[in-house]
Amino acid sequence: MSRESNDRTPREMISISPSPNQNSYLSPGLLSSNSESGMAMELKFLMPVERANIIRGRAVQELERDPYSSSSSDGYQVCSLYLDTPNLDVLHRNPDLNGTKYRFRQYGESTQLFLERKQRVSGVVQKKRQSFRKENLEGFLAEENELCSEIRKKSFQPSCAVRYERDAFYDPKGDEVCRATFDYNLSVDIFEKRTWGELIAFLGRDLTHRNLTQSARSQFLFQDWAVVELKFINSLPLRLKRWVEDYQMVPMNFSKYRSAMVVGFDG
């Protein structure tokens, strides 16, 4: 699962500006709440690591790493902690949720967490985030803010954690928002009792030392495979169209969460 070694620059910032030109490194879904920004779209690809590395080399030549990337060649670690209802309505695509899922995000060893709502309807992606300190998780969940109120109303609870190493790129010069992410070494941890106590205990571990021996429900999601995502506003930029054509990239309907639940429970 080795990756190409390239020089890096700092990490993904989360403050959202209504101007995509100012913060074009952000995920387009975070900009789509501004109607003038257009519709945020994503294409996902699951491919062998060796093939992903070839395309990633193209990204190194044509784009810049986002400001959240570290200066090492190992990328930055992402931990997504997914929530679901007691009946696993997200997993089973209950139409009442209208393509909505909720997750917490941790980047590297940061003590800052983000609660995120992601909604995909007819291919269009919208995201909303609220940030807080990790040590304040219990107090944050009790707050009367929009996202916490939603997860309480729908009885959402912890489901699983998906961890991976990310290398992310954007086009700082183009007029179109363009973002490409490369996710490696995906692993899943299932919260067997699905309690908030399990999630809090999981967050209390050192992210870099969470390994597959710490839980019988922890295992690799895709060994020797990578997830590549192309993210953009309205239509695929010409640059990314050329990537798709040159490398014969075939997009697929793919969910890290659903794949993690299948692998985690079958394993």
pLDDT digits (tens, 9 = 90+) for 236-247: 999 999 999 999
* pLDDT of amino acid 15: 31
Domain made up of 28-266: CATH architecture: Alpha-Beta Barrel (3.20)
How far is Cα of residue 101 from the mean position of the Cα atoms in its chain?
A: 12
The structural domains of the chain, with segments of one domain joined by +, span: 28-266
How far is it, in rounded angstroms, from Cα 148 to Cα 140? 8
Phi/psi for 245 (5° steps) reads -70, -45
Kindly report, residue by residue over 38-70, the tens digit of the pLDDT: 888 999 999 999 999 999 999 999 998 887 765
How far is it, in rounded angstroms, from Cα 42 to Cα 26? 13
Question: Is pLDDT at 161 greater than 50 in this prediction?
Answer: yes
Kindly report, residue by residue over 193-217, the tens digit of the pLDDT: 999 999 999 988 755 554 543 443 5
* pLDDT of amino acid 9: 33
Long-range Cβ contacts of 132-139 (<8 Å, 24+ apart): 134/106, 134/203, 135/111, 137/113, 137/199, 137/200, 137/203, 138/196, 138/200
